[in-house]
Amino acid sequence: MKRALLAAALIAPLLSGCVIYANDEGKTDVVRLSDAGSTSLEAVGQPRVENGRLIVRVGSNGCTSLDSFEVQLTEASDGYTDVVLNRRSPDLCKALVPDGVELAWGFGTLGLPADARLRLLNPQTL
């Protein structure tokens, strides 16, 4: 059992990559999932852009919400906006939430134009 967990931990960084999505206007959004600095960044699952919202699934013990995260935006020189999601504090609740929770940030709430092209720098969960 310990060997299987160790193998999974060693393989996980190799599975990060680049995911490309088309938004409602037919423009392409790229969400890059990087393992650079991943030890300190929250791992996210199922990242996507839909209807002017950035949507991700994150781990939760029952008390994770939008307020649990700080969203850092940096305009890159290639026309993309780099996005980093930082958890403000650990979720110390005791609920069983095996699939985590899905969180969505509207582009307007983030101060982004509707046609923004995003690059998410958090690592991806399996």
> 24-28, 60-64, 95-99: lowest mean pLDDT where?
24-28
Residue-wise pLDDT for 4-24, tens only, equals 444 444 444 444 444 444 455
CA nearest 69: which of 39, 37, 33, 110? 110
Output DSSP code: residue 88: S
For residue 118, which amino acid is it? Answer: L
Q: Which residue has the tokens 């930082």?
A: 86
Largest CA distance in the chain: 48
Output DSSP code: residue 7: H
pTM > 0.85: no
Sign of CA dihedral 100, 21, 50, 31: positive
Q: What is the mean pLDDT of residues 83-103?
A: 94
- Please tell me the predicted confidence (pLDDT) of residue 40: 77
Q: What is the mean pLDDT of residues 71-84?
A: 96
